[in-house]
Every structure is written in C-alpha cells, then in structure tokens.
Structure 1
Amino acid sequence: MTATTETTRPGSAFLQGVRVLDVTGALAGPYCTTILSDLGANVLKIEPITGDRMRARRMGPDRKPVPFDLTHRDKGSLAVDMKSPAGADIVCSLARRSDVLVENFRAGAMRRLGLGYEDLRPACPDLVYCSISGFGQFGPMRDAKGIDLIAQAYSGLLSVTGTTDGRLAKAGFPVSDVGTGMWAAIGVLAALLRARAGGGGAYIDVALADSVAAWSLWEVADYVATGVEPAPLGTAHRLAAPYEAFTCSDGATLVLGAVDRAWEALCTVLELDLRDDSRFATEYERFLHRAPLAEIIQARFATAPRDHWMSALRSAGVPCGPVNSIGDILTDEQFAARGLFVHDEERFAQPTIVNTPIVADGAPRARGRAPAVGADTIAILTELGYDDKRIADLVEEGVVAVHDAGENATGAVRLGTEAAPAAGRGAEAQA
C-alpha cells in the first residue's frame, strides 16, 4: 500500500493508516498490538463470540476486567468463531485488507484453521504475519505449552534471580510476556519497513523463551569467562561493586551504583576512609571483595534516613535512587511529567492506564477505551459486503456476535485502502 499524504505529514501518527488484525489473547500478543495501536495503527481485535478470556479476569470491588482494559484499549472488536468455515472466511477476508496479522495460538493452530501464513500468502503477498508462542514454530519444544513462569525458568532467568542463600524468585513483572510483546512489535515494524519499500510481506516467529534468554548478556559473559554457573546475587551486580540495594535508618531502601569514577565521591559522602584499602583499590578489586564492602557501606547507610543519603549522593554525582512501590510510581512526579501513567476514567474504562513509554512527535500513545465484545462486528461485516440478512443469519448460527445493536460500537474501524482513524478511538467499554 502506498503511504498517503496524511500518513507522512509531520506530526501525524507514525503508523497512521497501518491496519493490524489482532488474533491474540493473554498478554504477550495483546501487548504487541497495544504498542502498535499507541503508535497510531488501526487495530481490530478478533475474539470469540463469548469474548476474550481475559475479560473474565476481574479485579477490585467493582469486578472490572482490568487486564483486558489495559491491554486492549483503543482497539475495535469483531466477535467471530474462527473454527467455523464461515468465521474463517471472514478472518481471511480481513487479512486481505490488513497490513499486519498478529496471533499467539499454539504452534500450527492457525494453519489447522486454514489461516496460517502460507495459507494467506497467495492472496496477501504484502502481509506481515507475526506468530507468538512459548517456544517458537520449530525445534524440539515446539509443541510445549509456554507461560511466563515457565519461560523465566527455561531461559535461565529464574536460576539467577533470588537471594544469595539460593532461594529463587521470579521477576515481579511478567517479563517474558511483556518482553515478547516488545520483540514482536520490533519485528513487525522492521518487516513493515521492508514491505512498504516493495520487498513483500514477512513471517515473524517470536517465542517467550527466546525473548528472555536473549537478555542473558551479562550472565553469558560471566559464564564464558569463568566457567562458573552464575548464581542469584540478590540485588548485587554480576560485574561491578558497590552496585546493590541498602537499607537506611528509616527502613527505606536505596539502590546504589557506584562505578569507578564515582568511588571517591561515594567515600567522601559516606565519610569512609577506604581509598587506601587494597581490597577496594580498583573497580575489579571492589568486585572481588563485594561482600565485605557491602557490609561496610550498609553500616554507614543505617545511620541516616534515605532522603538524606539520596540528596547528598546526587549532589556528589553518585548514581542512586529509591526502591519505589507500585503505589509510589503511580504518584511519582517524574513519571507524571513523562505521561507514563494516565489517570482519566472518563476516557478509559479504568482510572489508570499504563502508557507505551515512547515519547516522540508522531506517537499518540493511549487515547481510547477497550471495546465491548463485538462492538464493531456489524460495521466490519457491512464493509466486507455482508447485508443485514446475512449478518443476522451469522449471529443466529453462532458464527459472529454483536454488541447491543451497535450502541457502543466504535464505528471507527476501517480496513479499506484509505488511511483511517485508529480502531476503537473513543469506544465505550463493557464493564
């Protein structure tokens, strides 16, 4: 598709006019398409006629579908049974009008529906098709089920995360899901560049296990250099010291990262006479003797509150920062200035939305609510050429579902060749 003047006009959304078919569930796939949506793409979610399973995961006293609302904001919704021939035909027709298709079923599932990349490629030569799975589309683990915790364990992350006494701990955030969504978005964007340059479509294969294992840079370097299996270090760094968390007199925790150029400043602030101690003479020596060094520094930090130390350390140019809670980050002035958390219950189904962390001209970021189940079914089928009777028949047959005669439909999803407003902008959410 040739880019339009609106698409390339300075200040317009980066992905304006790009049409994305979102055939995903859970977190990794939806997070990928949310990134694309926040960058301006027109995203249409394909979900079962009973609704995405994440809609059932409700939180808080109001029992709102929080996970779904956070990862499907600003999208349209077509509720269709893809396992039925008529439903598969609808998705196939939509693929022909789309630039990108993202799916995260188990390996081979889309192909069994006749909706795999090779099935669609003859009619969609420029389609960027992205498959997200636990272990990828080939290899001995291809058919194994993959979830966040399994990916953290299989990738080696779990073996190096935890306390120094050997107690393991998973990452507090679902890093394999979110990280895989990011890798998938990067792959899609790169493939779109090639497709727009006339190089044709592409098949992107992204796996949860690969995504986390690819972050093992420090640990792989350590193992290759020493031959010793890296072990959990608590908050300490694998190659530098002092570089970890310390508790202050008020119980608050401070993270310190004092590389070589900040060492003398750290000693001055802490009033520690360590410059002539041979154990700490060089960055490498400090790393080798990081345990006794941490004990000395911890004893000093325990003599004053965290804010006192942070102020003094920052003034001296020593990297440091607080260990914030989730409640802390939601009210933090820095994040507020960056617009990372959007507190606006009028525009969104939830009082707080976590924004895509890309701040740039052309990146609109989060703007609208998640759609109701089937909010755009009628509009999409009408655009595909289905008349009212045929749509009614498909509803009766259980092939598609619509939402309250379109009362809350967005009316904004357009998958034709022209540039269009992004799907779901201003859509009402179903509580």
Structure 2
Amino acid sequence: MTATAESAGPGSAFLRGVRILDVTGALAGPYCTTILSDLGAEVLKIEPVTGDRMRARRLGPDRRPIPFDLTHRDKGSLAVDMKSPAGAEIVRSLARRSDVLVENFRAGAMARLGLGYEDLRLDCPDLVYCSISGFGQFGPMRDAKGIDLIAQAYSGLLSVTGTTDGRLAKAGFPVSDVGTGMWGAIGVLAALLRARAGGGGAYIDVALADAVAAWSMWEVADYVATGVEPAPLGTAHRLAAPYEAFTCQDGATLVLGAVDRAWESLCTVLELDLRGDPRFATEYERFLHRAPLAEIIQGRFATAPRDHWMGVLRTAGVPCGPVNGIGDIVTDEQFAVRGLFVHDEDRFAQPTIVNTPIVADGAPRARGRAPGVGADTVAVLTGLGYDDERIAALAEAGVVGVPKAGEAVIGGARAGTEADTSADRSAEARK
C-alpha cells in the first residue's frame, strides 16, 4: 500500500539521516536544498550574521518575506561570518560532520575563503559538494555574472520564446533558477548513492546556462536537420500541428494537441471536412501548412465557450486543456488532491506553499516554517563543543548571530534538536 504525502512521516523519509549544509542565496541554490529537505534531509542554512538578503524582499499588503520563506522552509539557520577565520573554521567543522554541501557563490569564491571542495576533501573524503553558478566553474564565461534572464538569453531559450512576429518574451517562470536547482539535486542524489556504496565523495558543477541549454532537444534537432535558425512560434509546436492555443467564444483559451491519431476525431468534433484537403493529408503536411490550418480551426472555436469544447474534445479523445492563471492553479481540484499547494498558516509562515512535486511513500514533502536568523546558532555550536562563554564571545565579535532576547525562534526547536544527533551520526560513520 502506497502512503500519501501526508501519512509519510520522518521515519519513512528517503533522505532521513542525510545532513546538508546550505551555503546558498537567491533562488537556484535554495531551491536545490529545498527539494532535498522535502525528501527528508536535515538542511542547515548558513547565512550572514545580518541574515540572508532575501529576507528583506517582502511582497503583498502585509509585507511578508515571501521569497525567503518559500525556499527555506523546514531548514535550520546558523548565522555566521564566513569571511572571518573563526567563522570559516565553524563551517569547516560542520562540513566534516555533513554529507552534502551546496553553494552558489561566484566561481572560486568559496576557495578564496578556504572552503572550496579541494580545501575540504582531505578531511571530508565522502563529502558531496555541489557548486551552482551562472556559467560553471570553468570555460571562458566562468567569471561572468549569471542571472535567470541572462541564462535564458545565452542558452537560446529567449530566441525561440515569443510571438510569430518576432517579439521575444522570457519564460514566465524563472526556469533557469529552478531548473538548475533541480539538476543540482539530481547530481547530489546520484553522488550520494556512490558515496554510500563506498565510492567516495564528489564535486558537482551545475550552471544556469547549461541547465536551460540542455532542454533544447527539439530546437537543436530542427536546426541540425534544416540549417535554419528556429524562431518564436507563439504557442505552436515546432514539429506538429494543430498543436497550439485557441480563443473560444467566451474569450477563454484552450490548448489543443491533435497529433496524427487524433486528427480525424478533431475534424468530426469541429464538423470540418478537411480529410480530403492535400494540405492537411499527413501530419507533416499539416505542420507545413499550420498557419492556414490554425485559422480554420480558430473560426470554429470562436462559435462556442471553452468548457463546451473541452467537454466534447475530451470525450472524443482529443488532447486539450485550459490556459490557467496563477489564481486558477492554487485552487485547482487536481492539484489540491495531489497536495501540490499547501494552504496551512499554522504550519507555514505563508498562506500558500508550493510543494515539491514528488508523491511517494518516503517523500514527506513540505513540513514546517523557515527559520529565524540564527535560530540554530547556539544549538549547532554547542554540538561542535563550544561552551556558552565562547559562543557569547563569538556573538559579541560579530562572528556569529544569535536570536536577540525575546525574539521568536522559528524552526530552532526542530533543527536544534537534530543538530547534535545528526553530527554525531556523520562523525561516527567516518571513523
């Protein structure tokens, strides 16, 4: 019997016992470690003493810190100045007791702090170290700054996204960031398998530009076959037709994907006599003449509301679906039963959390809130053998950050409780 996401508790989590140091900021790195956290790993966020800069990004009328909360849920927080020798030593000590370190500084930045993979591997031979950057750790673009839009442009995605009149458009979601986070998580999971099998640690190098360019299979195949640069097609498919969005009588839009086996059914539903038209005789001919075909089909869709067309098309086995807005998806019944959006302000700091889309026994998914700045600093340092006097001195010197008196500690109880036991498990495993 397969457990639901809600019933899969910590005892069945895929990555239970795996400890991860999250030395990341912005979106790509934090999303990588959020995936791993949702799969059951214990993630400790390493952030500046003043707090991750994304904590200051606030949205909505109540000014919630949405970006940070969404990508750091259920993590612990250690506030430390890694640029100081004492701070760097704390991170080195934690690396010795960890399974994975994920960072997304610019290439070479961690090495300059004495915290690069080569600096840590002698003391941490089983450590899986993942670096996320704009263009990777080598190559002529190594030192260039990389952000989501630059990666979309450099990878070729921007050149093929937009309308048929040549107006370009970026992808509506930050696909470079979230895609690179996913590739990083995939690499970490594969490397963990090898490390657990006795093959030693690994260095994982993933880049925003690589992540998006790796998705260009259709477009590269088209270019290699024809020698013609692929151009934006709006919502149309590059190799099939009819396969695009159409506007219905009520102004709503649906997406249609009528490949060869659904062509005759589509013609029947739309009451169009196109079977004898040589322009549309084969899937390839329909692709070549996709513009006049789209015009004919659009004329029919304009005669009835979207829900009517979706009903009769689905009954006939023709693939179709609505073009949903963001407001539609967060209340959609299909996503609701699969637990993709979690609406629970008692467990989370946000009214809605976007879950990791893996539904399985052993994948607990989103569980708790993001931590306050330095919520786990005292517990983590205590686990490393620091006494109260030494911790107070480090805090006074600005090397570490601890919650102020009376300040709410969110997430600290969970992460603080597990910090010592996880560290002890990792240290014991390496003896």
Q: Normalising by the residue count of structure 1, what TM-score does the alignment of the two structures yield? A: 0.94
Q: Which amino acid aligns with 1:30?
A: P
> Structure 1 residues 369, 10: CA separation in 2 closer, same or farther (over 3 Å shift)?
closer
CA distance in 2, matches of 1:311, 1:246: 15
Residues 229-262 of structure 1 deviation map (CA, whole Å, 9 limit, x = unaligned): 0000000000000000000000000000000000
Q: Is the 8 A contact 1:105 1:133 kept in 2?
A: yes
Deviations 1:2-33 (CA, angstroms, capped at 9, x unpaired): xxxxxxx9971000000000000000000000
- Pairwise CA distance, 1:416: 1.7
User: Does the 8 Å contact 1:44/1:413 carry over to 2?
Assistant: no
Structure 1 position 307 matched with structure 2 position 307: yes
Contact 1:128 1:203 in 2 (8 A): yes
Report how many residues are paired: 411
- Structure 1 residue aligned with 2:238: 238
Q: In 2, Cα distance between the equivalents of 1:398 and 1:253? A: 56
Give the match's secondary structure for 1:78: strand
After superposition, residues 106-145 of structure 1 pair within 5 angstroms as 106-145=106-145
Matching residue of 2:196: 196
The answer to whether 1:52 aligns with 2:59 is no
Aligned-partner SS, 2:276: coil
1:394-431, Cα deviation, whole Å (9 max, x unpaired): 00000000113585222334232338xxxxxxxxxxxx
* Structure 1: segments with no counterpart, 5+ residues: 1-8, 420-431
Aligned 1:360-371 pairs, distance under 5 A = 360-371=360-371
Aligned AA for 2:159?
S
Encode CA deviations 1:361-382: one digit per residue, 9 max, x unaligned.
Answer: 0000000000000000000000
Q: Which residue of 1 aligns with 2:429?
A: none
- Equivalence for 1:249: 249
Residue 4 (structure 1) aligns with: none
The answer to whether residue 398 in structure 2 is matched with residue 393 in structure 1 is: no
Structure 2 SS opposite 1:203: strand
Aligned to 1:417: 424
Counterpart of 1:198, as a letter, is G
Q: Is the 8 A contact 2:25 2:104 kept in 1?
A: yes
Q: What's the CA shift string for 1:83-105, capped at 9, x where partnerless?
A: 00000000000000000000000
Partner of 2:320: 320
Whether the 8 Å contact between 1:380 and 1:413 is mirrored in structure 2 is no
The one-letter code matched in structure 2 to 1:91 is V
Deviation, structure 1 residue 131? 0.1
Letter in 2 for 1:301: F
Unaligned runs of 5+ in 2: 1-8, 427-431
Tell me the amino acid that sits aligned with residue 280 of structure 2.
Answer: F
Is contact 2:10-2:16 (8 Å) kept? no
CA distance in 2, matches of 1:330, 1:412: 34
Q: State the distance in 1 between where 2:305 and 2:174 align.
A: 32
Q: Give RMSD over aligned pairs.
A: 1.2
After superposition, the C-alpha distances for 1:117-158 in whole angstroms (9 at most, x for unaligned) are 000000000000000000000000000000000000000000
